[in-house]
Chains A and B, each alone.
Chain A
Amino acid sequence: MNASIFPASLLTIVPALHFEQVSFEHRDHRLLAPTTLTLSGCQRTLIMGPNGAGKSLLMRLAHGLLSPSSGNIHWQGKPPAQAMVFQRPVLLRRSAIDNLTYALAVSGVPRRQRKNIALQALEKFGLVALAKRPARVLSGGEQQRLALARAWLLNPAVLFLDEPTAALDPAAIKAVEDAVNEFHHNGTRIIMTTHDLHQAHRLADEVVFMYGGQVLEHTPAHRFFDTPASTQAGAFLRGELVW
């Protein structure tokens, strides 16, 4: 990829994200207990925990898709450019390349430049041959790669990924993980949820472990995997059922 098109990612210093006593309730159900957390540096943070622990919720709050019931969430300084990749990619009912030019149009790229940039992104993610195909008839792996290509175009300083490989086969999982690392090498901060331990081993610089709507641990990855502090995390790592 021609770096001159995306110079900003190499220069940005990703601002820290602060959660201060953030809680979230839905219909009198507390889904996130008051949480104070700072995500800083340009690392790959993996949010882990069993289903229903609040991983996706934490990420949606961080990305601003949901507002907290109490407490506040703020970036140090100006909020950085962000993108999010969902477990089930949401693609528009248009061709693959039109999905990309749409994202460029939304972010204000002049019309004449859109097609070139989109083609380069398709090339980067191995999708050039599928450019004209309707996005929604692509395979699951191709759709997720297209979603990653779309995120790439937005040149985010922070990339959120919500279980991006949950429904994919091993080859497609590898493609997604390679893409995540590519983003990271380009200076993008990664915040990703997973419940796949092996994936966490492969990708994590630091881990946020959640359980029952609470953040129980926020530690460097090696410490989390070697000596988890909480009994729940220990059980989770041993593959036991945690309740």
Chain B
Amino acid sequence: MTASDNPFYTALTLILGMDSALIAIVMLSLKVSLIAVLTASLLALPLGAALALWRFPGRNALIVLLNALMGLPPVVAGLCVYLLLSRAGPLGQFGLLFTPTAMVIAQTILVFPIIAALTRQQVETLHNEYAEQLRSLGLNQLRMMPTLLWDARFGLLTVILAGFGRASAEVGAVMIVGGNIDGVTRVMTTSIVLETSKGNLPLALGLGIVLLSLVTLINALAHMVSETAKRRLG
């Protein structure tokens, strides 16, 4: 085995080489996944909290649906977005197919049910503990929402990280709606698929190691922030 066949060596040279093409791919991966997670969080945190607080007909069905969608296969999500955005599709006029925006949309759809369903659980547990006190203070459900979301923040950070994990790991959706176009929509996971199919296994593995390192770094940062805050606030 020569040095260039070793994936760890390849990963190291990739990182140390600061290859501009690689950096562009890494940055696009991070950008797409982070924007998708941010968008999904903005929508799913309030929805999850609302599901925990309000009782209405169809609530249980909605919870089951969200739980089921946590297992939505990325290719299926990608296919749906593809059909929506393709020239003949209902949103075809915007010309979004094979752009990073399309990839963000697809990943947002993948991440949304995870964050919504897990937020619902976290907030419901906390609500069971807080409900009487908050109602005694005169809060209605709408005013309870920000309080509960804030007090569940440490648990919710983990929820958001789970969503980020899903976004950064998936390949099916971004492949279909992004098209893996070099310099435009190529991200880490689609590059790995490409290199694998070309038989360039050390490079594929090396890219995998880079991806894993990045995700680990982000998780470590989030963990540090939450541990520090937890020690200060209990």
Q: What chain A residues lie within 8 Å of B99 (beta carbons)?
A: none
B111-144: which residues lie under 8 A (CB-CB) from chain A?
129-130, 132-133, 135-139, 143
Q: Is B219 interfacial (CB-CB < 8 Å)?
A: no
Q: What chain A residues lie within 8 Å of B139 (beta carbons)?
A: 106
A137 with B234, Cβ < 8 A, contacts A90-B130, A90-B132, A106-B143 known: yes
B233 touches A95 (CB 8 A): yes
A70-104: which residues lie under 8 A (CB-CB) from chain B?
82-84, 86, 90, 92-95, 102-103
B133 touches A94 (CB 8 A): no
B213-234: which residues lie under 8 A (CB-CB) from chain A?
232-234
B234 touches A135 (CB 8 A): yes
B234 touches A93 (CB 8 A): yes
Q: Is B151 interfacial (CB-CB < 8 Å)?
A: yes
B234 touches A134 (CB 8 A): yes
B132 touches A86 (CB 8 A): yes
Report the bound CA distance from A136 to B233 in whole Å.
9
Of the listed residues A93, A103, A134, the one surrounded by the most CB atoms of chain B closer than 10 A to its CB is A93
Interface of A: prevailing SS: mixed
Q: Is A63 interfacial (CB-CB < 8 Å)?
A: yes
Interface of B: prevailing SS: helix
B151 touches A103 (CB 8 A): no
Q: What chain A residues lie within 8 Å of B143 (beta carbons)?
A: 106
Closest to A160 in B: B136
Q: Is A65 interfacial (CB-CB < 8 Å)?
A: yes
Q: What chain B residues lie within 8 Å of A227 (beta carbons)?
A: none
B133 touches A90 (CB 8 A): yes
Task: Give the number of chain A interface residues (Cβ < 8 Å).
Answer: 22
A65 touches B233 (CB 8 A): no
Contact of A83 among B132, B136, B232, B233 (CB under 8 A): B136
Q: Is A116 interfacial (CB-CB < 8 Å)?
A: no
Q: What chain A residues lie within 8 Å of B136 (beta carbons)?
A: 63, 65, 82-84
Report the bound CA distance from A187 to B190 in whole Å.
72
Report the bound CA distance from A131 to B137 in whole Å.
21
A134 touches B130 (CB 8 A): no
B151 touches A106 (CB 8 A): no
Q: What chain A residues lie within 8 Å of B137 (beta carbons)?
A: 103, 106-107, 154
A92 touches B129 (CB 8 A): no
Closest to B133 in A: A90
Residues of A in contact with B (beta carbons under 8 Å apart): 60, 63, 65, 82-84, 86, 90, 92-95, 102-103, 106-107, 133-137, 154
5 contacts between A and B (CB under 8 A): A84-B133, A93-B234, A107-B137, A134-B234, A137-B234
Other than A86-B132, A93-B233, A134-B233, give 10 A-B pairs with Cβ distance below 8 A. Answer: A83-B136, A84-B133, A84-B136, A94-B151, A106-B139, A106-B143, A107-B137, A107-B138, A136-B234, A154-B137
